[in-house]
Amino acid sequence: MSKLPAMRVDHVGIAVESIDDAEALLFALGCEKIHQEASEYGEFTWATYVLGDASRLELIAPAPGSESFLTDYLERQGPGLHHVTLEVDDLERAVGVLEEHDVPVADYAEFDHWSEAFVPPSNPTGALFQLMEYRDGYAEHREAGHRLFVGGESL
């Protein structure tokens, strides 16, 4: 079997109805908000918070009036843990190794500055895992820049 590429926990994503309402708790816990933007799909907004040197949390909230996976999720589950994002240095290789181990991988997508794929929550942990590979330009196109990476650098 093939060896997995380098990877690490990038952030934990929390689904909320409103970022403005939910972030007060993160601020009380000592988090600093470094970033907020609408998704590529326009269905939700995401905001990144850092806690200490390497801990990062993400709040995701549906865009007003949108219907999406996130509105469906909130209707079924309510606010709470939505996903764990693992940064990988070679997404294609990671997907291949997981498939060799009969781990289903879904929704592989490539964007200008990153690629992503998901391990559905039907796995034995019950958690949705987002696998994400950053590419050149990701940090440079966002105000928070390299602060978006754990430790200031991508893998």
pLDDT tens, position by position, 53-83: 889 999 999 998 888 889 999 999 999 999 9
- Stated pTM of the model: 0.91
Distance of CA 65 to the CA centre of its chain: 22
SS3 126: coil
Q: How far is the CA of 22 from the CAs of 14, 30, 48, 49, 148, in angstroms?
A: 10, 14, 12, 12, 20
pLDDT band at 44 (very low <50, low <70, confident <90, very high): very high
Distance of alpha carbon 10 from alpha carbon 131, whole angstroms: 9
| pLDDT at residue 2, rounded to an integer | 80
Which overall architecture, per CATH, does domain 7-150 show? Roll (3.10)
C-alpha angle with apex 153: 149 to 154, nearest 5 degrees?
75
Indicate the domain borders of the chain. 7-150
* pLDDT per position as a tens digit, 124-150: 999 999 999 999 889 888 888 888 888
Tokens of 144: 């928070």
